[in-house]
Structure 1
Amino acid sequence: MQLNQDIIQIKNKEYIITNGIGGYSSSSLCGMNTRRYHGLLVAALNPPVERYVVVSKIEETIVQNNGEIIHISTNQYPGTFYPNGYIHQYCFTKQPIPTFFYKLDSGLQVEKSICMVQGSNTTIVAYFNSGSVDFELNMNPFYVLRDYHSLNAETQVNAYATEINDNYIAIGYHGMPQKVYCKISNGLFKDSKAIYYNVEYFQEQSRGFDFAENMFSAGSFSTHLKPGESVQIVFSLEEAILQQHPQNLIAEEIIRLQNIAVDEKNTFLKDLIISGNQFIVDRKSTNQKSIIAGYHWFTDWGRDTMIAMRGLTIATGEKEISESILTSFLANLSEGMLPNRFSDKNEAPEYNTADATLWMFVVLYEYYQKFKDLHFIQQYFEQLKEIIIAHINGTRYNIKVNEDGMLYAGEEGVQITWMDAKVGDFVVTPRIGYTVELNMLWYNTLKIFDFFSKALQNTSFTVDTYIDKIENNFHQYFWNDYSFLNDVISADKQADQSFRPNQIYAISLPFTMLNEMEGIMVLHSIKEKLLTNYGLRSLSTDHEKFIAEYKGDSWHRDNAYHQGTVWSFLLPEFCLGWLKQYQYSVTAVKQVRQWIAPLEDHFYNHNGIEAISEIFDGLNPSDGKGCIQQAWSVGMLIKLLKELNNNHE
């Protein structure tokens, strides 16, 4: 990607790479950190959680043979950018690993690459003299050693550095349980402790948070590079890994990345699958795989995992990973519900999601369609039956099937659907009652359980009666006089006719209760009222509570979250419904490809590079908002492209 040396343009674009255990390395394309979540090494101390920003960045200076000093790093301080190294940067590439290209003078060029070691809290930064003259390179790492949600306000050095030898040091911090070890492959370390005050993060400022912190320097590394020579600095929480040659570790990671989706011919799909691999992590507490919901600040959640893995692991043929994830969640089944969040730091798991458990049935159905493995289904069949019975009889949060076969859910002060914004004690979209997507998911749960019962020839418990009830009553509850579906029916049977995207699941899920004409009417209403270049609006623009922009402090953002904000993960779901309704016709396929083209451009060129943003403004969406890399956004796009390939090409 060519860069125009405009700091405004560069600082709004970011990269992220991950280590498979919840840690990551991320910054803007010029290496200037713009978020508290940015850092060269953000380590997961209890994979995939308890993340700490350990190494914030490196400030690099080049000393030419005539003694002139040139900075290639950039920071934001109050009222200024310093140094202004971005003016020397002319290019950035994400693949195979993030690489920054600098041209400083006649014949003086340098490349900087960043790599993480899979399964390890380790980041390697490599510098290569790609020019025709030699120079001295000085590298001054900045440390903050803090929880990634916080900021370092220390005004004195609470960290300590122990020099082990000339090229190898250990950095500790009072309050952080682990040291970080630093080693340069060819160079020297000079002890020179200092604090750099008031480094600012403009993304935090725009989000209404504290946005400045102080950073600690233990000293700098230096080396002399001739043309064609390189040097690497390794930062790790694991001292033993520093005994391996960093070039070998980089080569191993590049080979790993190149082997992901190696047979995929569609370049966009291949790059999406590589991008999606960033979400798949090891979870220490379960000794199984899990899926991070989004970077930078989300962890692994039940609902997001179930929706995202449809594309991330099932559509891509990752059978063992799919089984590991499902095993992990089913091992924590309680009162017929999957957890929305696991137990970390010895607290109890959270079960505040009404839909994650129902989404699991869809996942299992798609798992079976992909892998034809009935044995895995059989292992958990009794638990599937337990889930059905718990929902019929009643479980947490007033989740229970009524006499009409409809699923009720919700209680005051708790948000359990995917529209889960809450500000203090205020639930923005409470949606207590019979929601359209929960009832479509419940219907699919019953149909899928029935399908597995027959496939396993285990009919000791049947759900035919409940299938009949919901089929007989669904239209009475949800089909309205305007030829679309009500969003929520209250306990006293009052209809909330807010036009929201949740009705898409009445068409896109494996089993539907709408006839052909009804499906077409709903699809075209969604197209008219909710469809944008980047996803579906969460509320139609003609609603009195519609909010056009997702901006401001956390209170304003949370209020806008589901009141019109565009969600990118819903665009593939809408496209899947469209393809299904129009039977993958040539015209339908062409239309869908046109609809997803802006997301492809976004993926390569905007916000998170080779990432899909979580959300966009409800009116005139352009820049990505929220997380720069969202699991279900990437996963559902992978699923859509795989479906297009399987059914049309």
Structure 2
Amino acid sequence: MITISFGPQVCGALVEGAAREWLVPDGLGGYAMGTVCGLRTRRYHGLLMVSGATAAARTLALASLDPVLTIGGDEYRLGTHEWASGSVAPAGHTFLERFSLIDGLPRWRWRVGDVVLERELAMVYGRPALAVVHRLLAGGPVRLDLQALCTWRDGHGERGAGGGPLAVDRVAGGAVIERAYRLDGPDWRAAGTWWTGVHHREEAARGLAADEDLFHAGTFGAELREPGDVLEVRAWAGALDDTPPPAREVISAARRRNRAVVAAAAPADDVDATLALAADAFVVRTADAPDVVAGYPWFGAWSRDTMIAYEGLLLTTNRAEEGRRLLLGYAATLSEGMLANTADTGSVEYNTVDGTLWFLHAVARHVTVTGDTDLAEELLPALRDVVDAHLRGTRYGIRVDPDDGLLTQGAAGEALTWMDARVRGVPVTPRAGKPVEVNALWINGLAGIVDLARRTRGDAGAAPVAHRTALASFRRRFPAPAGWLYDVVDGPQGDDAALRPNQLLAWSLPYAPMRADARALRAISKGLLTPIGLRSLGPREKGFQREHRGNSDGRDGAYHMGTVWPWWVGPFIDTCAKSAVSDAELLSGIEGHLTEFGLGSVSETADGEPPHSATGCPFQAWSVGELVRVRRC
């Protein structure tokens, strides 16, 4: 894997160190997450974030373990916190001499004179359980204490001291907090005080509540007399009497598993290896079947995101059997020809026009890549039903126009395409009518069904005729005088020729309706291409937003109005390949991004103008999935 390591000028500085975040997932949707310098900049940062009924229904448990070193008679506090007053205290990051991400696991080293202390941590895969090991590397003897700063609150919220103290029950080796999770380690001493006004600078920048209180439940401690001595702490939720393995064993097991994940993906180089492990973070276990977390730290599972990321996360990394079970699980949610879009709230909604079409694409790719005709035969009746439902018409005005065979959609107050941002409930880009990528996916999906029927000698139903009709209409209707494709035709205000990346699917998909057009590709390159992805709107277009920043209204208003989306690099490179345009060095910027924001991963979005600073989720499934796919195809 690529080397990710920083010295004191990064990890010892708040601005640089706090801008780089690490993630250690537990395989269930929970995680440990924080920054290189140790400052908690988000409400989502903590050492034990526990997933609930859905991957997005997370609860923060252990927020921090603050190390305190006593050398002789002098005390050195190695934790780092920012406060509502604006002060930073303690400032333990100034003692950091190194941070490294090794096999996906973070490692810190503090130096105080001739004393060097190291911290490593890992999660138990498949359990909400954390293991932390502190090891004396040089110097000694020293006293090490670890202050456990606790809470038990919704991952999206805050908790204050006004509600009273947390329930702390003493048990052998530590304590049970709020009867929800357990802490275990040596020499537990109860504390029971609130640390009030802990500030999260990233939440403040996003216009959200930025302060919370943390409960100092107690402190672990040990004498580290010589190099090699360790202090181990574990924290876990769920079955509290089911004690995890010793902390050092957990870390060794996590390292072995991560190396096995990478080896199974058969990476071609260090970047491929890094991306294979990044992809693993998003594939999670559920009670029924594998699923995909759309992004960390705040997203759960979304069908559109899952299906866009599917090939890169599961097929390219040689996890087809998990993918097969995932596809069958999603197929079971089909209703009136639409795939369920399981929202982060846990409710089941049917509110996308393209999620189902991406599902058709994922099934076709799975069968093409794996040769799994049994799956094709099993799902073909359901896929025919999807076509029939769209021909009849389904929810939100989604239907095939009988006049041209193209798919139209739209309902008042709804945004059904991937450009679904709202400001105070009002869609920013409703795109009612016949969006270009929706119809490219429709045509691609119909052709995929025809191919699946051929492979299984089954019945393609209405797909062949629907495909021929839509294909001819697409080629006639979508070319625009500007030299590229219309973004939407037959919209409320007519045809929309705004320069957006959506048209790339008309050339990039396996059964794309158009041949790649070098002229259009040049226009897209000039107006949309950036080092880490494509802008969602050209800079010369009306409404272009330079930055994806500010409060919720500001961010949502810019979300699809110029903000860069790394996942679009996949369709762009596919189109380059089909048009014989060189794609050399197109990925160098996004590969460099692997060490800039979400370490070893790819962000959700970035600002529309240079330097294209990353925004949104630091770890995003479809961004990683598409980069994995196009690097290996």
> TM-score surpassing 0.5?
yes
Residue of 281, 286, 289 corresponding to 2:284: 281
1:96-150: per-residue Cα shift (whole Å, max 9, x none)? 21111111112x0011111101111111111011113221100011112100010
SS of 1:21's equivalent in the other structure is coil
**Which letter maps to 2:119?**
K
Relative to 1, partners in 2 of residues 1:615 and 1:460: Cα closer, same or farther, differing over 3 Å?
closer
Relative to 1, partners in 2 of residues 1:328 and 1:407: Cα closer, same or farther, differing over 3 Å?
same
Matched, 1:490 2:498: no
**Which letter maps to 1:597?**
S
Residue of 2, 15, 21 corresponding to 2:6: 2
Contact 1:137 1:224 in 2 (8 A): yes
Matched, 1:601 2:601: no
Contact 2:132 2:247 in 1 (8 A): no
SS of 2:111's equivalent in the other structure is strand
Residue of 523, 526, 532 corresponding to 1:525: 523
Matched, 1:424 2:432: no
1:394-473 pair list within 5 angstroms: 394-403=393-402, 404-459=404-459, 461-473=461-473
2: CA distance, partners of 1:509 / 1:486: 17
Matched, 1:264 2:267: yes
Matched, 1:212 2:173: no
**Which letter maps to 1:180?**
Y
Residue of 564, 567, 591 corresponding to 1:566: 564
Shift of 1:394: 0.5
Contact 1:317 1:370 in 2 (8 A): no
2: CA distance, partners of 1:461 / 1:434: 24
TM-score (norm 1): 0.93
Count, aligned residues:
619
Relative to 1, partners in 2 of residues 1:316 and 1:385: Cα closer, same or farther, differing over 3 Å?
same
1:177-196 pair list within 5 angstroms: 179-184=180-185, 187-196=186-195
Aligned to 2:358: 359
Contact 1:532 1:621 in 2 (8 A): no
Aligned to 1:646: none
More deviation, 505-514/484-493: 484-493
Contact 2:45 2:63 in 1 (8 A): yes
Q: Which runs of 4+ in 1 moved over 6 A?
A: none
Shift of 1:520: 1.6
1:339-372: per-residue Cα shift (whole Å, max 9, x none)? 1116976x4x111111111111211121112111
1:268-302: per-residue Cα shift (whole Å, max 9, x none)? 00110101100001123xx1010000001010000
SS of 1:94's equivalent in the other structure is strand
Aligned to 1:244: 245
Aligned to 1:585: none
Shift of 1:619: 1.3
1:318-352: per-residue Cα shift (whole Å, max 9, x none)? 1111111111111111111111116976x4x1111
2: CA distance, partners of 1:281 / 1:557: 28
SS of 2:161's equivalent in the other structure is coil
2: CA distance, partners of 1:490 / 1:548: 29
Matched, 1:80 2:80: no
1: CA distance, partners of 2:157 / 2:187: 32
**Which letter maps to 1:281?**
V
1: CA distance, partners of 2:579 / 2:317: 24
RMSD between aligned alpha carbons?
1.5
SS of 2:162's equivalent in the other structure is coil
Shift of 1:157: 3.1
Matched, 1:25 2:28: no
Shift of 1:228: 0.7
**Which letter maps to 1:442?**
W
Aligned to 1:647: none
SS of 2:554's equivalent in the other structure is helix
Relative to 1, partners in 2 of residues 1:405 and 1:236: Cα closer, same or farther, differing over 3 Å?
same
1: CA distance, partners of 2:52 / 2:342: 17
Shift of 1:245: 2.1
Aligned to 2:384: 385
2: CA distance, partners of 1:271 / 1:162: 41
Relative to 1, partners in 2 of residues 1:539 and 1:120: Cα closer, same or farther, differing over 3 Å?
same
2: CA distance, partners of 1:364 / 1:593: 30
Contact 2:50 2:60 in 1 (8 A): yes
Q: Which ranges of structure 2 fall in alignment gaps of 5 or more residues? A: none
1:545-584 pair list within 5 angstroms: 545-582=543-580
1:323-334 pair list within 5 angstroms: 323-334=324-335
SS of 1:199's equivalent in the other structure is strand
SS of 2:530's equivalent in the other structure is coil
2: CA distance, partners of 1:62 / 1:47: 39
Contact 1:550 1:565 in 2 (8 A): yes
1:361-387: per-residue Cα shift (whole Å, max 9, x none)? 211121112111101111111101110
Q: Which ranges of structure 1 fall in alignment gaps of 5 or more residues? A: 173-177, 583-587, 644-649
